[in-house]
Amino acid sequence: MIIGHRGVAALAPENTLSGIRKAAECGLNWVEIDTQLSADGVPVIFHDDTVDRCTDGEGKLGAFNVSALKNLDAGSWFDKAHTNESVPTLEETLSFCVDEGMSINLEIKVYRDAQVAPLVDAVSAVLASSAFPAEKLLISSFSKDALLRCKAAIPQCRFGFIADKRNISDLHAFDDVGLYSVHVDHRMLTPELAKEIKGKGYILNIWTLNESEKADAFIAMGVDNIITDDPTLFIPKQPEDARCQRPSVRSVQGKFL
């Protein structure tokens, strides 16, 4: 199965509602999005530590109150056609995804250890007060502390550990509590690691694969889901369907982290 990365980052401004809608138009059921806290403690959907790359503002995301974030233009950096795009809150994104029929892989994005407790507590509170169905949600993080705290707060949710070369040794921390999935940087996945993860009974996801010719080899290793910026590389195009064409992908190549 294909999961859109940051919405569908190659086709629409990342981590925006129009990106999620574009994913739905491409026939996807799942999007991966990132959440962090505004200065006034509201979980918002945003990837970077600063607003510099993906808005017309400057400075740390966490220094902006949500009202100030809402005044930023989060779309025109990608394409002028998205000029009025704003940074969505988690709450409005959950509601939007219910309307769009989309499921969410919500990454708890931690840049500093001190962010873990306030972010997880705020995210857990929003999720607990939301009617968003648990079966349409998968919470993930590179931070084992964030996952373990979140798992304690909302045990009914499914959890995925995001692994790269820096933190793969933390995988054993979940041996007692269990996980739903492990999300591995595709550049480091080997048949041995895939076997270890599948042997623990976990779903195996990879990120961020934008080379469709490599998909079969990963599937042969046991990969269950591929997280990609551009699902059109993996899904046969409907020639008569213009909604899923790539508007300006050349102009934004190289801007993804």
Q: Which is nearer to ligand G3P, 64 or 207 (CB)?
A: 207
Contact partner at residue 232 from Mg ion, ligand G3P, none, CB < 5 to 8 Å by partner kind:
none
104: helix, coil or strand?
strand
Measured from the CB of residue 34, what is the shortest distance to ligand G3P in angstroms? 5
Q: Residue numbers of the site for ligand G3P (CB under 6 A)?
A: 5, 32, 34, 47, 107, 140, 162, 183, 207-208, 227, 257
44 Cβ neighbours under 8 A, 6+ residues apart = 35, 36, 37, 38, 61, 66, 69, 87, 88, 89, 90
Report which residue type is found at 146: A
Residue 42 C-alpha from the chain's centroid: 18
Q: Does 229 bind Mg ion (CB under 5 A)?
A: no
Near Mg ion by CB under 5 A: residue from 107, 185, 229, 230: 107
CB neighbours of residue 78 within 10 Å:
25
What one-character DSSP code corresponds to residue 226? E
The residue sitting closest to ligand G3P, measured at its beta carbon, is: 207
Span near Mg ion by CB under 5 A; candidates 16-24, 58-66, 103-111, 232-240? 103-111
Residue 229 binds: one of Mg ion, ligand G3P, none (C-beta under 5 to 8 A by kind): none
- Report the nearest approach of ligand G3P to the CB of residue 67 (Å): 25
How long is the chain? 257
